[in-house]
Amino acid sequence: MKCSKCSEKAVFLVPKFCKKHFIDYFEKKVFETIKKFSLVNPKEKIVVACSGGKDSTAVLYLLKKFHKKVVALAIDEGIFGYRNKTLIDLKKFCSKNNIELRIYSFEKEFGKTLDEMLKQKQHPCSVCGIFRRYLMNKYARGFGKIATGHNMDDESQAVLMNLMKGNVDLLWHSVPMTKKVGNFVQRIKPLYFCSEKEVAAYALLKGFEVSFNECLYIKDSFRNQVRDALNNYELENSGTKLNILKKHLLMLEKIKFETSFFQYCSVCDEPAKEDICKACQLIKSFK
Ligand SMILES: [Zn+2]
Ligand SMILES: [Zn+2]
């Protein structure tokens, strides 16, 4: 099968492109998202939340190419057999591409690795999520924004999950750029319109040394069920995921944005919805 733009062999099927034309197509799509939604200002430095996986590595590489002023920030949750491996890839990538890398660990910050925390029977993804978001926000403060590797698959899953759970506030998180609220650092998602398959193909074609494995804990999650359902639906109805996101953005335009009430944690001073933030509540429960 041939590329739809030249006589080279196609390496990607929908759209049908050779290596060069696929890379051009993908980079153009990401740069257009950055421009259309004004994800970066020329003066600011962007923190990229990195895991060593394909998505965040692609964001890191493309923001470095587009914007130059980037710092990589990684959280070592202490997931043995997973994060220790992906961090090795990330260190290599950053030194090769001349990018500053900062790593913060659960163990150093909270006294326990995620593996150790889970011996106390909490749901892995919610514990991990609370602490990851906490550290990202804390250490990204002072920079312009936090860029994450969320792709079209992640975001369309999140929209469906939040609809099913009635999490109205969280619907505002599934956007290319979150709104400025209090002391929270704004999030940007340059891969918002790129499918998981496209990001994987891009990472492979660019020869990024990244892990394609998923976190060892993901098997238990509700997200996994939603992901399978959406993938099946996409097979029968091509364009479903993109359509969900487009309609989601259209609907948000018609809804008034109201920031849910928040204050500052009485223990650590980070933003919180209650008197004590979720991270401090969890740490307290370990003692
Ligand atoms: Zn071509
Ligand atoms: Zn706190």
In this prediction, residues 118-125 reach a mean pLDDT of: 72
For residue 20, give the ligand nearest its CA: 1
pLDDT of amino acid 220 = 57
Query: pLDDT category, 168, cuts 50, 70, 90?
Result: confident
Q: What CA–CA distance (Å, rounded) separates 9 from 219?
A: 37
Instruction: Kindly state the average pLDDT of the residues 111-129.
Output: 79
Summarised one tens digit per residue, pLDDT across range 27-59 is: 999 999 999 999 999 999 999 999 899 999 999
To the nearest 10 degrees (0 to 180), the angle between helices 54-67 and 19-36 is 70
pLDDT at 247 (0 to 100): 97
- Give the fold, CATH level 3, of 30-209+216-254: Rossmann fold (3.40.50)
Confidence (pLDDT) at 188? 98
Q: What are phi and psi of 191, to 5 degrees?
A: -95, 15
pLDDT tens for each residue of 204-234: 999 998 877 777 776 657 888 999 999 999 9
Whole-number Å distance, alpha carbon 189 to ligand 2 midpoint, is 26
Ligand nearest to the CA of 278: 2
Q: Please state, as a whole number, how many other Cβ atoms lie within 10 Å of the Cβ of residue 220.
A: 10
Average pLDDT, the chain: 91
Distance 275 CA to ligand 1 centre (A): 57
Confidence of residue 169 (pLDDT cuts 50, 70, 90): confident
For ligand 2, the distance from its centroid to the CA atom of residue 267, given in whole angstroms, is: 5
Ligand 1 center from residue 26 Cα (angstroms): 13
Sheet holding 70-76: strands in order across?
Answer: 100-105, 70-76, 46-50, 145-147, 187-188
How many Å is the Cα radius of gyration of the chain? 19
* pLDDT value of residue 219: 65
pLDDT at 147 over 60: yes
* Ligand in nearest proximity to the CA of 16: 1
* Phi and psi angles of residue 53, each rounded to the nearest 5 degrees, phi first: -85, 175
H/E stretch holding 36 reads: helix 19-36
Q: How much is the pTM?
A: 0.91
- Residue 158: both structure tokens together: 């999140």
| C-beta of residue 217 within 8 angstroms of C-beta of residue 128 | yes
CB atoms < 10 A from the CB of 152, how many? Answer: 21
pLDDT in tens, 224-281: 899 999 999 999 999 999 999 999 999 999 988 777 667 899 999 988 888 999 999 9
- Name the pLDDT band for 163 (thresholds 50, 70, 90): very high
Question: Which letter does DSSP use for residue 260 in this model?
Answer: P
User: What is the average per-residue pLDDT within 12-41?
Assistant: 96
Instruction: Name the residue with tokens 């479903």.
Output: 240
- Average pLDDT (98-114) is 92
| Nearest ligand to residue 274 Cα | 2
Question: How many helices (H) does the chain have, and how many strands (E)?
Answer: 12, 7
Cα 7 to averaged position of ligand 1 atoms, centre (Å): 6
- Residue 133's nearest CA partner among 282, 257, 275 is 282
